[in-house]
Structure 1
Amino acid sequence: MKKKVLIGLPIIIGAATLLAYHTIFTLPEQAQVSTLSAQVNTPELACYNNAKPVAIDNDGKLNVLVWNIYKQNRSDWQTALTHLAKDKQLLLLQEASLTPALRTWIDNGKWSGNIVDAFKAFDTSAGVLNLAHQLPKQACAYTEMEPWLRLPKSAIYATYALSNQQILAVVNIHAINFTYGTEEYYRQLDQLATALAKHNGPMIVAGDFNSWSRERLQVMKSLLDKLGVKEAVYTPDHRKQFINGLPLDHLFYRGLVLEKAKAPISDASDHNPMEVSFRLLK
């Protein structure tokens, strides 16, 4: 009898785990982007398109916040996000959980944007989120499955109008984390680099790259070097680091003038934010 119980126990545990997984998480059948705006109401789409985009910069200035906000799990996330966003025209957030509190914060700040679900947890979207005071020209969804956790990571490829008549391409990424090698990591970044390679104007590539190994750094830089981008250098630089000292968060840019970049300390997430100021080329 005891032997039967011991044999059956792993099956029971496995079934219970699978049931809990499907109860908590809902995975999209394909990559989809949702649009958040008081002005428009669109269904979830592979790509959102806007025929009449408005420039997002402020008289040639473009201040950008890049931040993994840890699903707003820290109690002071709202105060910190309000402070960090006050002089920004573009927010690129990773691990955003579209809770009622975050949706209220977006509405109160008159932000608009797009979120790509990596998954829904108890019907609440979680993924990468772009916010600006104007909607993009286009926003497309990308996801890549985590081999171990079996939960996707997400990315947005978006384009925005600028006041100098150029179009800015932006990638906001939360990269694959737990893998044995770099195959899935390469595939995720290569898809985005391929999309960016078709763009002739300025660009920003930013987010949580989970670049915790030299091999991952090499993959990341080999793909992005082909795009002619530079990496922002931060003063101070308090970006989150892996135990080996490698930073996980990055911002690369092209066709813009970098004026300043800093990565201050914040206890409102398990990552510190990156604040980067650009000036448009005339």
Structure 2
Amino acid sequence: MQRNDRPQRRLILLLAIAISLLCGRMIAADDAAETNAGEQTLGLEACLKTLHWHSPQGYSGLDPEAIRLVNWNIEKGTNPLWADDLANFLSSTDLITLQEGSPSLPMVNRLSDRYRVSFAEGYTNSYQRTGVMTFSEVEPIAECKLISYEPWLRTPKATLVTRYGLKGTDQTLLVINIHGINFSLGLIELSAQFDDAAALIAAHTGPVVFTGDFNTWHSGRIDLLDRKKTGLGLSALSFDPDYRTRTFGHALDHIYVRGLDALFTASPDLQSSDHNPLIAELRYVTGNTSKKEKP
């Protein structure tokens, strides 16, 4: 059974809205006010410099003919079955992008025997650090992380950026793994978070994967994301089957690509997280990395 529009998720959102109203912290959704990114993120300029200071020379690259990706919000690993479900995909996976991942999970330790591990810390409590994690078959040429904050709870939401070589080409692949701001009535903070990702994509001349849990649970959030990707050459992947977790009818998780064709996509229905994974096999398209918007 598909687990879309879960009552629990609706209840959480409604409770968060009620709390915000009681605290008098409603935020206007005026797009003209979407400017103050500096208060929401750390280190965009440093991130841009880090990504472009490092030369791909001497690094192993991914196979440009078949880049296999799994993206998944694993709900902090609270259901132990997620590790078994992920293991079923690993025989043919080059990149794994997780949200709500934690270095303390046993499966993460096992993955580190095979994959290079990059981690950007988000929410942390006394017993666990969680955030976004990217696992790769090859060592990243460069990596950096950005932090945004939930406007009400002030808890961090991380964006992890990694860059990889592609065998037999002079191009590099930029991978942005994002966990979108969730609890806000307006779009100011989410817009700032997306702006930072857009700046990184605009500065990169090669192929791009922009993926994660975008928390696009409202049409306004989806419209915002569509506006931000305009001019960047990004295309949204579709999935077959498509069991992406939905709230209020809207998918929360996405994979956007530039300069890459999708050979295969799927979002299977699993029971081991409150999100379902996204699976894709991608192929680099020579000369198709311009920033012109695709139809």
TM-score range, shorter chain: 0.7 to 0.9
> What residue in structure 1 maps to residue 60 of structure 2?
54
TM-score normalized by the length of structure 2: 0.76
Q: How does 1:47-126 map to 2 (within 5 A)?
A: 52-57=58-63, 60-108=65-113, 110-122=114-126, 124-126=128-130
- Letter paired with 2:60: V
- Letter paired with 1:268: S
* 1:105 CA displacement: 1.7
- Stretch deviating more after TM superposition (116-125 or 86-95): 116-125
* 1:86 CA displacement: 2.2
Gaps of 5+ in 1: 1-29, 33-45
CA contact (8 A) 2:102 2:108 kept: no
CA distance in 2, matches of 1:86, 1:200: 30
- Note the aligned Cα RMSD (angstroms): 2.0
- Letter paired with 1:88: T
* 1:260 CA displacement: 1.4
Cα displacement string for residues 154-212 of structure 1 (whole angstroms, at most 9, x for unaligned residues)? 01122110113310111100000000200000000101101110111111111100001
CA contact (8 A) 1:64 1:277 kept: yes
CA distance in 1, matches of 2:170, 2:188: 38
1:240 paired with 2:245, answer: yes
* Larger gyration radius, structure 1 or structure 2: 1
* 1:224 CA displacement: 1.1
CA contact (8 A) 1:50 1:135 kept: no
Aligned residues: 237
TM-score normalized by the length of structure 1: 0.79
> What residue in structure 1 maps to residue 24 of structure 2?
none
Cα displacement string for residues 34-93 of structure 1 (whole angstroms, at most 9, x for unaligned residues)? xxxxxxxxxxxx958865321023x62101101101111102111111112221101111
> What residue in structure 1 maps to residue 271 of structure 2?
267
* 1:151 CA displacement: 0.6
CA distance in 1, matches of 2:70, 2:199: 24
* 1:136 CA displacement: 0.9
CA contact (8 A) 1:31 1:116 kept: no
> What residue in structure 1 maps to residue 207 of structure 2?
202
CA contact (8 A) 1:69 1:77 kept: yes
- Letter paired with 1:190: D
What percentage of aligned pairs have identical amino acids? Answer: 29
Gaps of 5+ in 2: 1-40, 44-48, 287-295
* 1:100 CA displacement: 4.7
* 1:103 CA displacement: 3.6
> What residue in structure 1 maps to residue 185 of structure 2?
180
* 1:146 CA displacement: 0.5
> What residue in structure 2 maps to residue 215 of structure 1?
220
- Letter paired with 1:260: F
Runs of 4+ in 1 over 6 A off after TM superposition: none
- Letter paired with 1:53: Y
